[in-house]
Structure 1
Amino acid sequence: EFLSGGQKKRVALVRTLLTPADILVLDEPTNHLDNEMAEWLEDYLTKYPGAFIMVTHDRYFLDKVTNKIVEIDKGQIYQYDANFSKFIELKAQREDMAGATERKAKSLYRMELEWMKRGARARSTKQKARTLRFEDLKNRSLIEEDGRVEINALSTRMGKKTIELYNIDKAYEDNVLIKDFTYIFLPEDRIGIIGPNGCGKTTLLKIIYENLEPDSGTMEIGSTIKLGYFSQENEYMDDKLRVIDYVRETAEFIQTSEGSMSASMMCERFLFTGSMQYSLIGKLSGGEKRRLYLLKILMEAPNVLILDEPTNDLDIYTLAILEEYLGTFPGIVISVSHDRYFLDKMATRIFAFEGGGAIKQYEGNFSDYKDTKSLTTDDNNKVDPVSAATVDEKKAENIANWKQKDTRLKFTYNEEKEYETIDEDIEKLELDMEETDDAIAHAATDYTKLNELMEIKKGLEKALEVKMERWVYLNDLAEKIEDQKDN
């Protein structure tokens, strides 16, 4: 009854680990665990003698403890003998290959579409073949792409006065959570808050957002500040309400960098497709409800985002785009999180609860915090600021030199000549293939001739494939060159 959410999670986890088992099954094991406990669990699982299966979005955790990843993507299952870092590399290779196939199909579709617009210029059999090919490519060009969440930064203008905390104290009976804490938030602060479960992290957020009365000290909030609070637990959602109606409670239209967007369009950006928008909230999964809750918070256009364990129950794709969104968000972000990867991407300053109510500040992200902490206990690890500065200066100089170079795309002489004739080359190869097919049909009983023709056809198919790949490359390059002229 008196335990925090993280403490209850820790008790349940210990009970599971103490139960004899051949296979451990863990569902989001690091949710609600503090960083120290997550690191302990990492060490435990790396030494665990048996097998375990887990679902998790914790990317550092995945990287440390797994040797096989099973990905479910659009109804397909892909297996990778890898940890998370290697999985990302292998997945990128798979998507590059899939993307190349898709780009090729779309480029072929563009070429065939142009041919269809011009009309048939050859005999009827060729016209029929090209028409069938056009329909096939048309279908392939409509292959569903991976669902990705895309968010445009939304915020309300912020004045000079932000959030100011002076000498804040807060305790519950003898448990001192916050002692003499002072901080004035800067307009684009990215604050990550860490500490053990039950130490007072959420209490600090509630002092800011819910005006929880401190025992002593004062808090001042500027008149232009608009707070958005993404809590550990979703706000109440009426299960009988449709997704689109829940979002419309916030706004029917919002202004983004792309112009006015409807609630339905924002739902689409958050992977709630047309049919899902009219589904009842009660039919959504826990992760989908979490995503819907996040959408509503962002649509309110706050200029201060307060996030309490935002990564819980969000999928990795949504997390990646949320991190990208926070990178362009023109306001203040304050986040309690156990997700070390998220803290590395988001934070530029760490507030660490270090016991007895002390909140110590560290410049940088979570990895910087860990490095600083390790330096205080290891006098042999010295940082040479001069060397670091020299490296940064050299890097900046190299970037500046690169930017001064002429990096505009252009055809080589041979590419330009090839681009001018490649359509005719492809049509010639297709005609040769049709004639070879006719010859094969007439040589059905002449096996010697048939083998020769099959070899010829194989060579023509290979040549056509190479030509088509060149056609895709040259046309993509031509489009990019044209785009440069417009910029």
Structure 2
Amino acid sequence: MANAAPTNLISAESLTVVHGSRVLLDAVSLGLSHGDRVGVVGRNGDGKSTLLRLLARRQEGDGGRVTHTGGLRLGMLDQGDVLPPGATVREAVLGDLPDHVWASQPKVRDVLTGLLGGIDAAEVGGLDVAVGTLSGGQRRRVALAALLTGEHDVVVLDEPTNHLDVEGVDWLARHLAARWPAGTGALLVVTHDRWFLDAVCEKVWEVHDGVVDPYEGGYAAYVQTRAERSRVAAVTEERRQNLLRKELAWLRRGAPARTSKPRFRLDAAAALIADEPPPRDTVALARMATTRLGKDVLDLENVSLDRGEGSRRRRLLDTVTWRLGPGDRIGVVGVNGAGKSSLISLITGELAPDAGRVKRGTTVVVAHLSQDVHEIDEVGELRALEAVEKVAGHVRLGDRDVPAGQLLERLGFTAQRAWTRVDDLSGGERRRLQLLRLLMAEPNVLLLDEPTNDLDTDTLAAVEDLLDGWPGTLVVVSHDRYLLERVTDTQVALFGDGALRQLVGGVEEYLRRRAEGVGAVTRETPRPAAAPDGAVVRAARKELARLERRLEKLGEREVALHAAMAEASTDHARVGALDAELRAVLAEKDEVEDAWMTASELLE
């Protein structure tokens, strides 16, 4: 007997929503069943949050209906959640549950540790602090913790990663992946965090032009399928499309070792685009950056920086030496309170170090995208295009001049929105305009502080494409792993112990080090470690050079194996042998990277 179709926990029939003269949802029908893990994407304003509220029955539509299965337990985190200001964190999250009860529940303890550790670390009263005294970000984490400590068949989350750092996003992804047994429970989430979408979701719903299009797989599969649906005339693009079709046909036939879940193999997907040019020509951009900047950009030399007063005074940077060169593209991650914003302020000159010096090149022109969109209030009466052209009519990107109107279009401003007053723009549009105005001034050092705030996934891709052609030194502070790995070439971390460490393994290495307890934030001012002697330094430098050569060769072999797997995609035996060799290469690469870190720490 054939298995019965799964019963929908939530069913929507002919949902229709009209805002003014615009149809947000046009007779949309869909369902959410046990085992579904769905990410919702789409442009800002196209109806993602509206769809969630309708499905949760927190909002009535203009047509259609939503039904819930009997006894459904649904929990929702809305963007506008309001916590009672007089309540304590304990009351908001745990209600009147006695300590001995919740402390015996592993899930509750995990939620408190994963989401509220930052509040405890700030020593503002821990669980007994009043909600009304917390920052917006802390209140958001409390609301999320209150939801996740409950028992729900369906969890609906609207932008849950807002105000979470890299570590918090990683924890939330792991928690949701393990929250229900396989095939049970359902998750529906709106987020612009593309790494999170890939880590958590097995389906994607794209909301656009009044409809909801379903895609199987996470964000990578969604992008891959969109690429497949598009047709491009160029020969190289046509070849890539043929490879996509070939791979998709293989996936449909099914590999012997494949699981029942229709997941896309990331290694094969990487091989499919191996013949594509890199997103940016780093050599050419570095050459242009050197022309604009010279060889000296910015050096922090033995810099120490203390913040706070009295017993709360803490050393953020302890004899840190860091050099930014022309064309460097660096991502910065770190624990809350470790000094990321202070590091940016040292670069801009807003802060002076307590010891050491900050040396800037004579031609350096710094632009800083802060988190405050009110910076463009001064041009609120202007149209969007006028606000950009007030800075400059065109800008040099890569090897060509781009007019202001074309840049606005690239970042999603239609002709109508380009002539909208700045005061009437949405938060996401103001954020894009803020960035464009900075770029129009043609700085040669660009500092981006959490640039993904208020931007949808399509706009983020457009911003990344724009930055690919920008010839200067780029420093990005962000909790968005996808963005960091997409637009920067190297990452550094502040662990809260006064040091600035390079992350050879990227964000994954940062999370591993944090799990191992590296860099716990302390209140004592760290003392500088004794410098290694000259012989040790010379030996470490020699070992670093050897390990870097080995890493380069392993990287080349990894690329070659991916290409070979793509060529042999229909030969299962050959793919299996290549996959085994690839795993061995990756294992050796991990060992070499660990050895590199050991040697490099002697030189910090």
Residues 60, 330 of structure 1: alpha-carbon distance in 2 compared, 3 angstrom cutoff: same
- Which one has the bigger helix percentage? 1
- Give per-residue Cα distances to partners, 1:259-313, cap 9 Å, x unaligned: 5444323322322222211112233222222111111121121111111111222
Which residue of 323, 332, 338 corresponds with 1:199?
338
CA distance in structure 2 between the aligned counterparts of 1:54 and 1:66, rounded to whole angstroms: 9
1:175 counterpart residue number = 314
Question: 2:76 maps to which residue?
Answer: none
1:247 to 367, 385, 388: 388
Q: Determine the structure 1 residue equivalent to 2:177.
A: 46
Amino acid paired to 1:219: V
CA contact (8 A) 1:191 1:351 kept: yes
Write the letter of the residue equivalent to 1:188: G
Structure 2 counterpart of 1:37: 168
Shift of 1:73: 3.4
Matched to 2:424, the amino acid is: K
Partner of 1:346: 487
The answer to whether the Cα contact below 8 Å between 1:350 and 1:369 also exists between their aligned partners in 2 is: no
In the alignment, is residue 314 of structure 1 matched against residue 449 of structure 2?
A: no
Show the counterpart of 2:498. Answer: 357
Q: Is the 8 A contact 1:348 1:364 kept in 2?
A: no
CA separation in 1, counterparts of 2:319 and 2:300? Answer: 10
Q: 1:73 and 1:12, CA in 2 relative to 1: closer, same or farther beyond 3 A?
A: same
Q: Find the aligned partners of 2:167 and 2:305 in 1 and give their Cα distance.
A: 25
CA contact (8 A) 2:444 2:471 kept: yes
Report what 1:230 is aligned to.
Answer: 369
Q: CA deviation at 1:198?
A: 2.2
| SS of equivalent residue, structure 1 residue 223 | coil
**Conserved in 2, the CA contact under 8 Å of 1:189 and 1:332?**
yes
Deviations 1:33-86 (A, max 9, x none): 111111111122223344333221111111121122110234442112322222
The whole-number CA distance in structure 2 between the counterparts of 1:339 and 1:190 is 15
Residue equivalent to 2:350: 211
Pick closer, same or farther for the CA change 1:61–1:253 going to 2, 3 Å: closer
Give the superposition deviation at 1:226: 0.9
Partner of 2:464: 323
Deviations 1:82-138 (CA, angstroms, capped at 9, x unpaired): 2222222322233349999xx9xxxxxxxxxxxxxxxxxxxxxxxxxxxxxxxxxxx
Residue number in structure 2 paired with 1:64: 199
**1:6 and 1:198 in contact (8 A); partners too:** no
In structure 1, the residue matched to 2:156 is: 25
| 1:198 aligned counterpart, secondary structure | coil
Confirm or deny that 1:164 pairs with 2:299.
yes
State how many pairs are aligned.
344
> Counterpart of 2:376 in 1: which secondary structure?
coil
Q: How does 1:283-298 map to 2 (within 5 A)?
A: 283-298=424-439
Secondary structure of 1:237 counterpart: helix
Do the aligned partners of residues 375 and 364 (structure 1) sit closer, same or farther apart at CA in structure 2, a change above 3 Å counting?
A: same
1:250 touches 1:296 (CA, 8 Å); kept in 2? yes
Q: State the structure with bigger RCO (CA 8 A, min sep 6), 1 or 2.
A: 1
Check 1:202–1:384 CA distance in 2 against 1; reply closer, same or farther (3 A cut): closer
Q: Deviations for 1:144-171, whole angstroms, at most 9, x for unmatched residues?
A: xxxxxx9xx8978112221111223232
Aligned with residue 190 of structure 1, among 313, 323, 329: 329
Letter in 1 for 2:224: E
Structure 1 residue ranges without an equivalent (≥5): 104-149, 378-382, 400-487
Q: Please give the secondary structure, in 1, of the residue aligned with 2:375.
A: coil
CA distance in structure 2 between the partners assigned to 1:293 and 1:386 by the alignment: 42
What is the CA deviation profile of residues 372-391 of structure 1, one whole-angstrom value per residue up to 9, with x for unaligned ones? 889999xxxxx998875545
- The equivalent residue for 1:416 is none
- 1:377-392 matches, within 5 Å, as 389-392=552-555
Hey, what's the Cα distance between the residues in 2 that align with 1:26 and 1:396? 38
Segments of structure 2 that go 5 or more residues without pairing to the other structure are 1-131, 239-279, 519-545, 563-604
Which whole-Å deviations, capped at 9, do the CAs of 1:15-44 have from their partners, x for residues lacking one?
Answer: 443466664332222123111111111122
Look up the equivalent residue of 2:166 and give its one-letter code. N
Deviation at 1:183, TM superposition (A): 1.1
Q: Give the TM-score of the pair, scaled to structure 1.
A: 0.61
Q: Partners of 1:5 and 1:218 in 2: how far apart? A: 35
Change in CA separation of 1:384 and 1:234 when aligned onto 2, cut-off 3 Å: same
**Alpha-carbon distance in 1 for matches of 2:500, 2:490:** 12
Secondary structure of the corresponding residue to residue 496 of structure 2 = coil
Task: Give the structure-2-normalised TM-score.
Answer: 0.50
Corresponding residue of 1:107:
none
CA distance in 2, matches of 1:288, 1:46: 33
The amino acid that maps onto 1:176 is R
Instruction: Say which SS state the counterpart of residue 307 (structure 1) adopts.
Output: strand
Amino acid at match of 1:68: K
Contact 2:411 2:463 in 1 (8 A): no
2:227 is matched with which residue? Answer: 92
2: distance between equivalents of 1:45 and 1:392?
33
**Residue deviations 1:412-436 (CA, integer Å, cap 9, x gap):** xxxxxxxxxxxxxxxxxxxxxxxxx
Tell me if structure 2 keeps the 8 A contact 1:348–1:365: no
Question: For the residues of structure 1 that align with 2:135 and 2:447, how far apart are their CA atoms?
Answer: 19
Q: Shift of residue 347 of structure 1?
A: 2.9
Once residues 42 and 8 of structure 1 are traced to their aligned partners in structure 2, the CA distance between those partners, rounded to angstroms, is 20
Q: Distance in 1 between matches of 2:148 and 2:498?
A: 32
Contact (CA 8 Å) 2:202, 2:218: kept in 1 or not? yes
C-alpha separation in 2, matches of 1:285 and 1:255: 27
For the residue of structure 2 that corresponds to 1:236, the secondary structure is helix
1:78 corresponds, among 209, 213, 223, to: 213
Secondary structure, counterpart of 1:197 in structure 2: coil
Question: Is the 8 Å Cα contact of residues 35 and 339 (structure 1) preserved in structure 2?
Answer: yes
* Contact 1:235 1:293 (C-alpha < 8 Å) held by counterparts: no
Radius of gyration: which is bigger? 1
Shift of 1:177: 2.0
Matching residue's letter, 1:168: S
Across the aligned residues of Structure 1 and Structure 2, the Cα RMSD in angstroms comes to 3.8
Offset of residue 7 of structure 1: 4.2
Q: Is the 8 A contact 1:7 1:198 kept in 2?
A: no
